[in-house]
Amino acid sequence: MTKEEKAKCKELMQQIELLKKQVEEINPYAFWKEKTNKEFGEKYSERYILSKVPNLRKNNGAGHDMAGKHYKNVEVKSCRMTADDNWTMNQLHPDKADAYLFAWYNCEEGTQEISFIPTTELLKLCKLNKQHGEGCFTLSSTINNRAVLKKFMVPSWEELNQKV
């Protein structure tokens, strides 16, 4: 590459970064599909939730992700699709969580859907499937599970802040 080509590439990369920031101001989830699952969950979804819900804080204990004002152990599960899509939430540990926060991010539309459900209600109303070993489960988007989680939908991050 010539010196001029290198300079042009550097200029174009700066323009791309600026454009990405402008896109993210309009749609904060626009580039989340590009992330690995771990990166999405830990670096983006969880940090984003913490920035929107001041009553939650990171909890580094096993089996749960956050602690709230009213719930000591809140396990967070999120995915990059709508609640109406086919999804499976993995590695639920209901014996270690007081409540579950499910977040579905529509990366194309820049919207989210949020369900917050106490673990007792989740166990009573939803069908969980065993995963890995003792105490670990999955939750899939069956008709019943979707209906239950829709009943526990929270319309905004502000309302979620009051519940946790």
pLDDT in the model for residue 61: 58
What are the residues whose beta carbons fall under 8 Å from the beta carbon of 26, sequence distance 6 or more?
110
Write out pLDDT tens, residues 34-53. Answer: 999 888 988 889 899 999 99
Return mean pLDDT, the chain: 92
Please tell me which residue, 2 or 63, carries the higher pLDDT value: 2
Write out pLDDT tens, residues 78-128. Answer: 999 887 889 999 999 999 999 999 999 999 999 999 999 999 999 999 999
Confidence of residue 62 (pLDDT cuts 50, 70, 90): low
Write out pLDDT tens, residues 67-79. Answer: 999 999 999 999 9
Could you give the residue ranges of the DSSP H alpha helices within the chain? 3-26, 37-38, 46-52, 119-125, 143-151, 157-163
Alpha carbon distance 92, 108 (integer Å): 27
Answer yes or no: are the C-beta atoms of 91 and 120 closer than 8 Å. Answer: no
